[in-house]
Homo-oligomer: A and B are copies of this chain.
């Protein structure tokens, strides 16, 4: 089977989330893995690349992030719409087979111990930058990106190719109530 996943240079990692997609957050600790959806994730720095993500105190994934000090931010696709909604609404606390019910399969990447969600378009492995005040007061977590990968069918040579890829690869942008927009047309400034 052809492998379409290639690593992305860290200095271009911010481009994977610069357009503001809804993301999936995965983490594992002590044999437990979980995945949640997060609309509130954002780039924070270029070099070293950093990002922020808001993790509610009720989220089991947050506990895994706090205990393990690491997590993965990944960019789900239109093909993963129901998966994204499901991991965002089911809780591991009362649904032990949450990931199976949601159809989320975890894979490994070379050189990483983290759990990555299969079928996404891009993945950012992060090391937690501990900031207890932000985490406690705002549910705000900072991660330093230590590894990045993308599926070459939609991101290659540092560029998204949403305009030429199958529309099922487009990123999801959540509003509310199960309602999303897919990313749309490419446009370039003449300034």
Considering the chains assembled together, what is the distance between the CA atoms of A172 and B173 in angstroms? 12
- Nearest CB of B to A111, in Å: 26
B180 touches A183 (CB 8 A): no
* Copies of this protein, total: 2
**Mask: chain A, 38-61; 1 = CB below 8 Å from B; 0 = not:** 011111110000101010000000
Interface residues of A in 135-189 (CB under 8 A from B): 138-140, 142, 159-160, 162, 170, 172-176, 178-189
Known contacts A183-B181, A186-B179; is-contact A140 B173 (Cβ 8 Å) = no
A45 to B55, CA, bound (A): 11
A18 and B175 contact, CB distance less than 8 A: yes
Q: Does A105 contact B (CB under 8 A)?
A: no
User: Which residues of the partner chain B approach A85 to less than 8 Å between Cβ atoms?
Assistant: 189, 191
Chain A interface size band reads: 35 or more
Q: Are A78 and B187 in contact (CB under 8 A)?
A: yes
A residues 34-90 touching B (CB-CB < 8 Å): 39-45, 50, 52, 54, 78, 81-82, 84-86, 89
CA distance A181 to B186 in the complex (A): 4
On whether the beta carbons of B191 and A185 are closer than 8 Å, the reply is: no
CB distance from A163 to the nearest CB of B (A): 8
User: Is A22 close to B, CB under 8 A?
Assistant: yes
> What separation, in Å, do the CA atoms of A188 and B176 have in the docked complex?
10
Instruction: Compute how far the CA of A162 lies from the CA of B86 in the bound complex, rounded to whole angstroms.
Output: 25
Can you give 9 contacting A-B residue pairs, CB < 8 Å?
A19-B175, A81-B189, A134-B134, A160-B175, A178-B188, A178-B189, A179-B186, A182-B184, A184-B184
